[in-house]
Amino acid sequence: MDGLTHPIEYRYYTPEMKAIFTEEAKLQRWLTVEAALARAHARLGNIPWEAAEEISRKASTEYVKLERVKEIEKVTRHDVMAMVEALSEVCEGDAGKYVHLGATSYDIVDTALALQLRDALNVIEDRLKELLGVLLDLAERHKETVCVGRTHGQHALPYTYGMKFAIWAWEVRRHLERLREVRRRAVVGKMSGAVGTMAGFGEAGPEIQRLVMEELGLEAEPVSNQVVQRDRHAEVVFLMALVAATLEKIGKEVRNLQRTEIGEVYEPFFRGQVGSSAMPHKRNPWRCERLCGLARVVRSNVMPALEDIALEHERDLTNSSVERVIIPETFILVDFMLSEAIKILRGLEFNYENIRKNLELTGGLIMAERILNELVKKGLARQETHERLREIAVRCWKEKRSFREELLKDPVISSVASPEEVDEWLRPEGYIGSAVRLVEESVKELREFLHSS
């Protein structure tokens, strides 16, 4: 732990994503691109096959050590050139003189970044699929768990927990669809030289770029300057911010439902866990709060990603320092947040007694809409009946009266509705509309989507 300064290094990370963004992993991707470039030159007869094979053999961190690259960089003050020199010096014979032939630094950097983005997006995709599966399990399990629905923080109508989870599940599906679109536009490399004209490769430039990208499994930037255009990368960061916002939404909902006054749902609390250093009774929703907090960091990275788009002329260096920070940070944090959200949702605890208590907290006032509709069916005028029910509801709320009794005392209402009918109209389970069907259809469709992905 000594020497670590950023929490993504020691606290907010998963091993899978962190491994993609280590310095050594980045170096290896640079070397992989250099090897592909050498082989493309050899296929076109620009360099000897033996040289390309030697470069390819040595283009590995097994031979090109990160420590050596850093040592050279202290002199060159140029990280890519340090890598080129380090690779050249481990190549036997005269193969070293063909390393990086015709390329500019960002041919290597941006193409390697495309490889990095592809790997990182694959990890995010797997996490999103896992999250979707967890949400579908919860939606199916709780499709008939009736609770109070809240709008503006106030009790509104009966609702179900299954619908809550189904809504989140559809949002996750949209992220998966967005990811596949973004990956097509973002996993793009280039091999076009200092200002994009491919002059350093002569007439063979387009073919060299095609061969390199084909071997690496990347799309090529059709026309570039010195860099792959940054709208592509900004879109990736924005996608990650959207995912983080969904996780924040989930975390905020669980936090609110865990409030002492509500107490319907709780994030997992493990044996020996401490809620507060001062108050032994506390059970704080700290994991959900952490999701909400980290979402702010991820969201803040969207603005610099957008500002990276408008580079000067054929490029300047203002994007480089920004991307060294925001791309690893964004991916590592979002991956960690997804992993945490999956664990939270898998371990959710439900207090069914409180769910029922809150459902009945208003003494049936949340059923006023149903009663209005039923009375209109009985022949009463809609607007007049709405006002009548509003007055009754206000009186019940202010004077703590029974909504049922006030309904039956009203001469107009009691003239068309029996006590048995009113009792049925006041039953929350009888007024959840198509909730169960909507959840069942959503689960079916989303499971098919998941299985076909």
Residues serving a catalytic function are: 152, 276
SS3 state of residue 300: helix
Q: Where are the alpha helices (DSSP H) in 378-410?
A: 382-399, 403-409
Question: What distance in Å separates the CA atoms of residue 322 and residue 257, rounded to the nearest whole number?
Answer: 38
Q: Where are the alpha helices (DSSP H) in 142-230?
A: 161-186, 205-216
| DSSP letter, residue 417 | -
Q: Residue 200's CB: how many other CB atoms inside 10 A?
A: 17
Angle at 425 between CA 421 and CA 426, to 5 degrees: 120
Matching residue, tokens 């070397």: 31
Are 126 and 87 spatial neighbours (Cβ–Cβ below 8 Å)?
Answer: no
Are 225 and 314 spatial neighbours (Cβ–Cβ below 8 Å)?
Answer: yes
Long-range contacts of 69-78 (CB under 8 A, 24+ apart): 69/27, 78/105
* 265-266 and 349-350 beta bridge pairing: antiparallel
Query: By C-alpha distance, which of 371, 405, 418 is closest to 390?
Result: 371
Sign for the CA dihedral angle at 377, 380, 381, 383 comes to negative
Question: What distance in Å separates the CA atoms of residue 26 and residue 29, rounded to the nearest whole number?
Answer: 5
CA 129 to chain centre: 11
CA 172 to chain centre: 8
CA quadruple 140, 141, 143, 148: dihedral, nearest 10: -140
